[in-house]
Structure 1
């Protein structure tokens, strides 16, 4: 719909997409430095579609805010509306429109929603008193909705939410699944692929270059000489920087899971790797516990094939514990939620950092709430002892059955294959949080500190650095 008037022409844009429109009624007010219009019906008996509505008003002074309010219509379903923006133009002035960005879902329960225009700025740089008040009101509202809660003592706090409904539509992301090819099937037993996974697999954050051997790793230069270049020694390779270490000391002494009434076990491996002359990173020694002794031998590539393979499998299993609960949940999910809650509570929409951060962290509340209610809850997935796979398999749609089947396997068989259970989670998260530092979250510093930034086949390091550099240009 299009119309014109002497004072203002207002165009309300609905975002593209089959579900972005609504049957609800829309009321709109313009707020200026000298006054505001009464609420004006935009829909007026028809559904909300992109268009414009015009009206005459008294003096407003400088246009500052646009206020929107949805109202449910009798006889029509109450459907959320995704507003792209509102444009306000003075036809007589001949200048371009003043744009009030929205780009979010609105619903009747939200009440009055006010949109700003103009450049993003800090609170200290804001000159208009009404905009300052708008920011303060927004933060007060967000702080009432989003509160802090202690999930695990010693770990980052999380949002105090008990239901997905509390998130609202703008902090929820519809799930998407895509099939992933798995090259491990053909090479998983080979030493070079073990090292490749340490650099480029699901958890490339643990491996580090060393110049001194850990004192509790019971290896000598003579033991490892067969796996090093001719006329070289362990001491020479340490000096050259070709020796790397995986150290799972953080798992030492933690209680293990009870699976189907049987005790599971955790180890704290030390795995030594060597960058060979073919530029392959290969394991050369594995000790499964941190305390050396007769019951804690060092496994090497010269051991019987099944023994060496089983030692590597143990390392991978312990790497999985650290990946899922530290690299993945703590460093990714919990840190993203920490930033999301802090942003919502302390940075209004017009703050530059709010606009920069929220597209990346807005859905962390949804997925973390789901995790605490299922994976990490008492009697939840981590705490289950009986798998329920077959009924879920029957419900899988054919086009994505392979991908969804793998998801169901992980979800419902997780406690059947994981050595860490609910008893492990608090201690492990607390330990890992105490060791987390800001420098380890900065990609160039982390890669350099671990000595993997210049490894020829460290594709994670190369790609992560490219992404980091693009963000810092």
Structure 2
């Protein structure tokens, strides 16, 4: 033991903060016991009860020569040109609990021998001699001559040193471009990036930290007779890349990986520190344990009807709950990952929280005004576009799909246009369309061959009224010609009606539109356009930008947990037979459909201003506040989003300018150029030849690209994610399945529709079991963790030593707080009818901060759920 027997005046004093494995080992907490599900519950509570004591025992075990560190000089080099390596030093005594530390963190003192010839430390090696890994939070050195305090922000798992080919190294929280890196640190910087890239071979192990690319070849189960197309690497099915695992291939298809446990680089799995990890693993519990139990209760035990009988019956999910057998509830309710999701009372009922959309008004969701408002203020507000030509046309190949030109006529529309003609409305930019024709029609024949799916491709035309609200004018429902897709669609046009059977047909037509919208939202707006497209950026950043790089420090918080949640999605959500395939219309064609949409994905169009202009809901106008004039002035997503976008871009501009004084500096940054080249050529390889990719030769291109990444990971994801349960938790408002076409006169279904619009509606949309799947999953996805890190925040104040960057970041946070006040003011303005609508649900999805839980607001830094 070194502590206490030397002259500490000739030593560097340090503090090491870590967390032992047994405090963090979520796998132990959630492992299935030999006695099955009840074993899980016992394991959960047994471990949870012992967490505090376990932390003390594990901390004590680190005393002695179990963990060693070597300082590395940033200013003095050895004969090879690399920074001098100091003498080995071991952790010393455990410190009293520090008030600044998290509840499960332990601090240890450490003392390093030091002299003036060593210079200023810029990195350190660490070795773990114990059998278990631990989570290294930080290392702080005090009273360094000519420097003062030095912080190392680590946040990394450290395994036994024999697991690594090279010793683990951590760098000081300084910021350097490659060319400005202190010479003694440069080779260490390069070697660490080489380690993170790996060699592209072998099966990845739990302790690996390697970031590499692969296609989506693990969604199906070919050996079990349930294959799925490989997404990525082909013209037919292009896709963003995901993290390579190197698992064994299936016997049936040598190009597909066997399904099973998902590898993610070890530090991407540090969600174990977060309560959100319980939510993420709640999805596993749902798919593997809870949903099979609920299915048996509904279909096997027949303790409840498989159909809802009325809208009151649906509302009973929140107001009374579903009666379930005691043994099933006993297995569901104690699971800690689900304790906030399911609520049970003493009467053997399973109860969901009331969705926001019916907390004030129970029936206003049925109004046309609310239907139209949710197009611009709901959970999928970035699909609607302005209609420029009439009738609407298609971009589908007519040789394959026939003439897809809309059958809606001017006369159909002008009935409800308050005396305005179609031509006048087009000229005045007052007609808009929600168009799912091209996305769904190529798959309809296959979708409608599934056991219960009966779906249309839909077009909905909306009119901008004088009061600023939208009015739906007509819905076109199309299905394939019975003679073949190439003969074009068989279409019907449904017009608004308030009374009689026509009002029921109109309500059903709106349901079919929303089923299209729900599927497109979940698969494209949410999964593809945020989760999937961001993973290649996260991979490339770790492979080519050192932790010392300013752009790494800018972007890293916006990748937190994304690779992890995407891996979980491949295992339980988007996989063959997974939750999405069970509960959303496209079924087994779900992710394949997203590949078809990815063909037309454009990185630069993900910038909000570019998106609004592309959809023609805004026009460029230099005299307007954001350089744009919105054609729907009261467009909550766009109005709030433009303010957030401008704040992000201003922050990125200010930060980037600190390190890149000229375009030449961008061009000469070797790490930056390698990063961007790989994002394009490997991460999004199937689109690498597209001309719209920024060339990364200018400061402007760098600012624009980083702004898009930050926006996509934070605000865009928040806008399409955290409203899922508030709107979709009431399944009749956002159904995810359609099971029959609109009944024709002379059929029993038509007669039933005449006698009971509620039964007709409920027999058309998502049935009870699939509703329980939907509600369970989207409630998890719509929640915030207690320790969420929101836009404008960092999880440590020591993320950089650059005071100018810290000041700029502080201004960014202040600007976001100011925007929150503006959002609250707009929501209180009764003249802005789209802000709250008939359901009286104020639009807060782009309100930056939030409390824990199901709040309908909050913009996390990253796609972490």
Question: 8 Å contact 1:142–1:344 — kept in the other structure?
Answer: yes
For 1:63-462, what aligned pairs fall within 5 Å after superposition?
Answer: 63-72=121-130, 78=132, 80-90=134-144, 93=145, 96-108=148-160, 112-117=167-172, 119-128=174-183, 130-144=184-198, 145-151=210-216, 152-153=231-232, 154-161=238-245, 163-164=261-262, 166-173=264-271, 174-176=277-279, 181-183=355-357, 185-213=362-390, 214-215=392-393, 216-230=405-419, 232-248=420-436, 249-254=438-443, 262-289=451-478, 295-302=490-497, 304-378=502-576, 380-381=577-578, 411=579, 414-426=580-592, 428-452=593-617, 454=630, 455-462=632-639
Paired with 1:88 and 1:41, the residues of 2 have a C-alpha distance of 17
How high is the TM-score relative to the length of structure 2? 0.46
Question: Judging changes above 3 Å, is the alpha-carbon distance between structure 1 residues 7 and 118 closer, same or farther for their aligned structure 2 residues?
Answer: farther
- 2-structure distance, mates of 1:336, 1:102: 23
TM-score between both structures, scaled by the size of structure 1: 0.81
Tell me the distance in 2 between the aligned counterparts of 1:46 and 1:327: 49
* 1: CA distance, partners of 2:527 / 2:110: 48
Q: Which secondary structure does the structure 1 equivalent of 2:8 belong to?
A: coil
Residue deviations 1:150-197, cap 9 Å, x none? 110311111113634543244342144686742155322111111111
Which one has the bigger helix percentage?
Answer: 2
Pairwise CA distance, 1:376:
2.7
Report the equivalent of 2:8.
5
Distance of 1:72 and 1:339 partners within structure 2? 34
Point out where structure 1 has 5 or more consecutive residues left out of the alignment: 382-410
Question: Does the Cα contact within 8 Å between 2:386 and 2:616 map onto a contact in 1?
Answer: yes
Query: Deviation of residue 424 (structure 1)?
Result: 4.5
Q: d(CA) in 1 for partners of 2:128 and 2:449?
A: 53
- After TM superposition, list the pairs within 5 Å mapping 1:48-63 onto structure 2: 49-57=106-114, 59-63=117-121
CA distance in 2, matches of 1:452, 1:38: 64
Contact 1:284 1:300 in 2 (8 A): yes
Distance 1:296 1:55, change over 3 A: closer
- Asked if the contact 1:8/1:54 (under 8 Å) is kept, the reply is yes
2:480–2:489 contact (8 Å) kept in structure 1: no
Bigger mean CA deviation after superposition, 314-323 or 274-283: 274-283
Q: CA 1:220–1:143 in 2, change beyond 3 Å: closer, same or farther? A: same
Please point out which of 40, 48, 61 is paired with 2:89.
40
Greater mean alpha carbon deviation, residues 104-113 or residues 194-203: 104-113
Whole-Å separation in 1 of the counterparts to 2:376 and 2:566: 27
Q: CA RMSD in A?
A: 3.2
Q: CA deviation at 1:318?
A: 0.8
Counterparts of 1:435 and 1:335, CA distance in 2: 13
Q: Aligned equivalents of 2:469 and 2:412: distance in 1?
A: 20
Superposed displacement of residue 4, structure 1: 6.0
Distance 1:143 1:294 in 2: 50
Matched-pair contact (CA < 8 Å) for 2:94–2:108: no
Q: Secondary structure at the match of 2:466?
A: coil
What is the CA–CA distance in structure 2 between the aligned matches of 1:294 and 1:254, rounded to whole Å? 12
Change (3 A) 1:54 1:212: same
Q: Distance in 2 between matches of 1:212 and 1:261?
A: 35
SS in 2 for 1:84: strand
Determine the structure 1 residue equivalent to 2:69. 28
Decide whether aligned partners of structure 1 residues 65 and 448 sit closer, same or farther in structure 2, where only a CA change above 3 A counts.
Answer: same
Shift of 1:227: 0.8
SS in 1 for 2:473: strand
Name the CA shift for 1:250/1:261 in 2 (closer, same or farther; >3 Å).
closer
Q: 1:37, CA displacement in angstroms?
A: 1.7
Q: How many pairs were matched up?
A: 432
* Contact 2:264 2:567 (8 Å CA) reproduced: no
Contact 1:171-1:362 within 8 A present in 2 as well:
no
1:67 Cα deviation from its structure 2 partner: 1.9
